Amino acid sequence: MNKFALIGHPLGHSMSPLIHEKLFALSGLSDSSYELIDIAPEDIAGSRRLLEDLRGLNVTIPHKQAVISLVDELADSAQRYNSVNCISNDGGRLTGYNTDCDGFLRSAELLPIGGNVAILGCGGVGRMIAIEVARHGGNITLAVIPQDVKNAQLLMAEILAKCSDASVRIADISTLEGSYDLLINATPVGMYPKVDACAVSDTVIENSLSVFDVIYNPTETLLMKKARALGKTAVGGASMLVYQAVKAHEIWYGGQFSAEDISKIILDVENAVDSMNK
């Protein structure tokens, strides 16, 4: 039996087992299991033996940085963000990866991330997205609330250190102006159960050609609804969630999946989320 797991704390309802079990089934790996393992922050430092018992694992809050000291090697993606959300076990040698960036890039591959991009928020996922957009030549506007300006300034400095020719500016999210090729919501505004909230004005949405929302619950946020009503392309967070899991299977055992299979899993996740909210 090949054992895989998600570690974090606290672990509430998670879509990870659904996604990974479907990916194992597509790969014909009936002898593989996927479980949720809740590890308290004070116990993570002594968890190396537990990790060694797993063929591979995913890592979520608050352990994405704490596990770095437990692995033997960091892939480039994990080094770039100083954050690990996926670990492979190759004969007892543990390697840490960051597949969140792969999840974003693959789910947004048809979106203009190399154009003028407004990113709402500068937290964990916003930081990763901003750096990836910069790496792909995008002109970035970090739109944040006043109390996050200092964090945005730190992020801007980090982006410029990694991509010296990047174009980055900071704006107040409440007075955001301009036209954008892509509007990315990396805040929790609009997340279930507060589904009637939207992080930006209708004018900003009207002035954006396309939208990406990292939120996957609800499957269609108010931001996405407004964008689609205007005939714009809008991509939700379920695709990012699935694609980062797909990358993990590619790392763990060389899994290969068709675009059609992945689309079906994304739809399954969206249907599961919708059913959960009824």
Residue 164 shares a structural domain with residue 116:
yes
Question: Per-residue pLDDT for 1 more than 90?
Answer: no
Answer positive or negative: Cα dihedral of 78, 83, 85, 89.
positive
Residue-wise pLDDT for 131-189, tens only, equals 999 999 999 999 999 999 999 999 999 999 999 999 999 999 999 999 999 999 999 99
Q: Please, which pLDDT band fits residue 80 given cuts at 50, 70 and 90?
A: very high
What's the total number of domains in the chain? 2
Instruction: Tell how strand 139-144 and strand 2-8 pair up.
Output: unpaired
Q: What is the pLDDT of residues 16-69, one digit of tens each?
A: 999 999 999 999 999 999 999 999 999 999 999 999 999 999 999 999 999 999
Residue 135's contacts (CB-CB under 8 Å, 6 or more residues apart) are: 162, 163
pLDDT in tens, 218-234: 999 999 999 999 999 99
Percent of the chain residues past pLDDT 90, beyond the cut:
97
Query: According to the model, what pLDDT value does residue 140 have?
Result: 98
Query: Which residues are within 8 A (CB) of 56 and not within 5 positions of it... i.e. 6 or more apart?
Result: 4, 86, 87, 88, 89, 248, 251, 252, 253
CATH code for the domain in which residue 245 is found: 3.40.50.10860
> Does 130 share its domain with 209?
yes
Q: Read off the pLDDT of each residue in 192-206 and give the average, rounded to a whole number.
A: 97
Can you say how many angstroms the Cα of residue 122 is from the centroid of all Cα atoms in its chain? Answer: 13
221 and 132, same domain (yes or no)? yes
Same domain, 92 and 201: no
The residues annotated with a catalytic role in the active site are 64
Positive or negative: CA dihedral 82, 132, 11, 33: negative
What pLDDT is stored for residue 234 in this prediction? 98
Cα-based distances in Å from 227 to 146, 184, 196:
25, 12, 14
Same domain, 32 and 53: yes
Domain that holds residue 36: 2-98+239-276
- The answer to whether residue 13 scores a pLDDT higher than 90 is no
* Same domain assignment for residues 86 and 157: no
Domain of residue 121, CATH code: 3.40.50.720
Q: Give tens-digit pLDDT for 83-121.
A: 999 999 999 999 999 999 999 999 999 999 999 999 999
pLDDT of residue 278: 82
Same domain for 125 and 30, yes or no, is no
**Do 12 and 108 share a domain, yes or no?**
no
Same domain, 200 and 227: yes
- pLDDT at position 193: 94
The DSSP code for 64 is: T
Confidence at residue 47, expressed as pLDDT on a 0 to 100 scale: 97
Check whether residue 145 and residue 203 sit in a common domain: yes
Tell me the pLDDT tens digit for each residue of 118-130. Answer: 999 999 999 999 9
Q: Tens digit of pLDDT for each residue in 256-274?
A: 999 999 999 999 999 999 9
- Do residues 218 and 267 both lie within one domain? no
Q: Are residues 8 and 111 in the same domain?
A: no
